[in-house]
Structure 1
């Protein structure tokens, strides 16, 4: 039996959709904070169990009988280390035989602030005694695509990544990688550095927005402080604005670049071109 935490999140749902192509629904546990939000998964035959990272008492029962567990990293930056430790502890008590964890690209040396909690979780897995496999995910192309509409509206795509190259891939690519690892055998101890086949600078990303939309859009590089302020002014919470600005600065230091093609090798096809994500976002906006 395979359990997916964060199963109602965007990545979790895509992992489940991919798994269902080769795994019976009854053998998949959707571990979710709010079971009522997973009614559609239950209707498809999955086992839906409550598993709230912030409520450890819910976790042990959620993993009963589970052989493999996909620990999708918590969305609550700043609370991840404790939350992930609670999941790992519960998995050990439940006798889980393999944990796959969605970490960060080159987490061991990443300049991104996000790397701190991922490094802590990787260390916790190492200390747990449970066999594990690490999926070090690069950036989702959708992360930058979320800013396409305002960029077209204002004629400017702002960031703080300088000329750093970003090898992003579509969320679906990472979902397929997670599903592949969960159905393969002999994965314990492996670390996958996952990123897109092609890379771009944000100058090139802005140029693609312009080409695909027919509008004038250029890249404006800002300092970390100015980009943080811009994001806050756009309504983002302080913590999220600071994290995104820090991540851009990390990208300027090549923290989101990798050219190993490990992701496309794992999923058996080229990664989704970032240009395709840009075009699809504009088409559906």
Structure 2
């Protein structure tokens, strides 16, 4: 996918004191019209925004938050695709048919909206950092995320790489994308103490999902009973999520098949969900190369991986 440098209409200078003019921002070519619509998008006071890098537990947290916002309505959750209950902002551009608003689906959602996005902070709606609605951010060990994203691209037949080693090498060599990887997370990590931000990690969700559910409920000012908590732990377990047709993005796959005349053989979006699962797929040489890349990036941001993963 070709990328181009983006200069947004405005920067979140009121939430982070940094030189935004020096912050590299890239997005796919010919996306300026969409990004302008996003920048000008109306943000509602009762919105909840879920922001992540790709393959960092977005779907898992998305289902969790939707249930909290909707009074733990498990029956409705089992009847409707997650991506229709909670819109993926960037997918709106894919669905845009040339009429009306580019982001009309999110705009038409009833409140309270749960909107997910992989966009970095400076490309999100400008009202996000002025109105400051609730924002949830989830990070994941990049080694697991890289492997997961490779298989995700293979599912949609969008990768030209024959093997994971070549893909991982390209990922860490692509400066304008990989440099943004840690800018994306460290900007939200720097805001983690703000009352409108809830920052967590995939690893923490795996190790203590009960506490994360309780944290999210407290963050969103929602009560939860022990019975509801047990239901959540069951519904959000890996086995249930993987076997749930409403959380495997089947609807999105169907839209891509329709729009781009594609065939998608593997309908399961959720793959393994393991912590450290990269060890099963990456070679020792791959891991060393990714570790060196991560260490250089982390040093430049003066932060450790354990800090970002909340493992200290």
- TM-score, normalised via structure 1 length: 0.34
Identify the structure with bigger relative contact order (alpha carbons < 8 Å, sequence gap 6+).
2
1 or 2, which has the higher strand percentage?
A: 1
